[in-house]
Amino acid sequence: MQVGSERPTTRSIPADSILDPTLPSTASISSSQKPTGSSPGTHRYRTFASTTYLDDGLLAFTQSTASACHIAIPHLASIIAVIAVIAVIAVIAVIAVTPGNMSQLSAGTRAPQDSEDIDSDGDLRVVVLSRQDTPQPSFAAFRVCSRALKRASSVFRSRLADEPLSGHQQIVLEETDPRAMGCLLRLMHSTQVLLRPYSQFDPSFVSRLYDLVVVADKYDCISLLRPFAAS
């Protein structure tokens, strides 16, 4: 016998079986050792179609892998259950902190996010509330001249027709973009110098221009934008 050429010890397994660790450690397994009956726990090996040979090392690896799988599967189920519980808690937390309907917000309950005196001697305070379905609902307040609004918009002219203005009058405009409305109010007061220019390459340029056109159409003063459209 040549040194180093010795083959590892193998076990010959029947053509329709795979070895189970509870079988005797003999060189081969005869057909007389096959268990009889089909009750659970009596089978020592499972049926396969072809003859299989496993050495001791591969057999031990197979056995340890099977044991690890039996241990890992219950732990995996527990981890999935914990992740599901955390996800449900996160959804509940998001729903709990969602702001309420801003249309019910009184302008005097808290300071507006943006306040501007477009006309420091104005007799009207306009509070603008954004839509609720916007990513960041907001509101703003503007001091304006009621006569300027009436001249520029038939909507304001109709709304302010029968309201006596005492210098403390306030109206609330709901579902209106505050930024776009502020721009429109400045145009109504011919204070374009207060408008901040935006580059056409600004990613927000198109969306802000769209919001301005929507607000101008809503309050029937689209004519204020025609000089700028022509240029």
Contact residues for 35 (Cβ-Cβ < 8 A; gap 6+): 42, 43, 44
Mean pLDDT of the chain: 66
Q: For 207-218, what is the mean pLDDT?
A: 89
Confidence class of residue 157 from pLDDT cuts 50, 70 and 90?
very high
Confidence class of residue 216 from pLDDT cuts 50, 70 and 90?
very high
pLDDT at 226: 82
The answer to whether position 20 is within a domain reads no
The answer to whether position 171 is within a domain reads yes
Q: How far apart are CA 32 and CA 188, in angstroms?
A: 103
How far apart, in Å, are the Cα atoms of 11 and each of 31, 51, 71, 81, 141? 14, 11, 28, 43, 88
Q: How far apart are CA 21 and CA 35, in angstroms?
A: 14
Residue 161 belongs to what domain range?
Answer: 115-228
The answer to whether position 79 is within a domain reads no
The answer to whether position 71 is within a domain reads no
Task: Considering only residues 193 and 181, tell me which one the structure prediction assigns the higher pLDDT.
Answer: 181
Q: For 115-142, what is the mean pLDDT?
A: 84
Q: Find the CATH number of the domain harbouring 157.
A: 3.30.710.10
Confidence class of residue 190 from pLDDT cuts 50, 70 and 90?
confident
pLDDT at 80: 76
Q: Is 78 exposed, middle or buried (0-12, 13-18, 19+ CB in 10 A)?
A: exposed
Indicate if the pLDDT at residue 126 is higher than 90: yes
pLDDT at 142: 94
Q: Which of 63-77, 79-93, 129-143, 206-220 has the highest mean pLDDT?
A: 206-220
Indicate if the pLDDT at residue 170 is higher than 70: yes
Residue range 17-43, pLDDT digits in tens: 444 445 444 444 444 444 444 444 444
CB distance 143 to 119 below 8 Å: yes
The answer to whether position 94 is within a domain reads no
- Tally the domains of the chain: 1
Percent of the chain at pLDDT above 70? 43
Of 145, 141, 156, whose CA–CA distance to 218 is shortest?
156
Confidence class of residue 49 from pLDDT cuts 50, 70 and 90?
very low
Q: How far apart are CA 21 and CA 44, in angstroms?
A: 8
The answer to whether position 198 is within a domain reads yes
Confidence class of residue 63 from pLDDT cuts 50, 70 and 90?
low
| Sequence-ordered alpha helix ranges (H) in the chain | 56-97, 146-152, 154-159, 178-188, 205-218, 226-230
The answer to whether position 43 is within a domain reads no
pLDDT at 139: 84
The answer to whether position 164 is within a domain reads yes
What global pTM score does this model have? 0.47
Task: Considering only residues 50 and 3, tell me which one the structure prediction assigns the higher pLDDT.
Answer: 3
pLDDT at 169: 86
How far apart, in Å, are the Cα atoms of 205 and each of 99, 177, 199, 209? 28, 15, 7, 6
Long-range contacts of 87-95 (CB under 8 A, 24+ apart): none
Residue 54 has φ and ψ, to the nearest 5°, of -125, 130
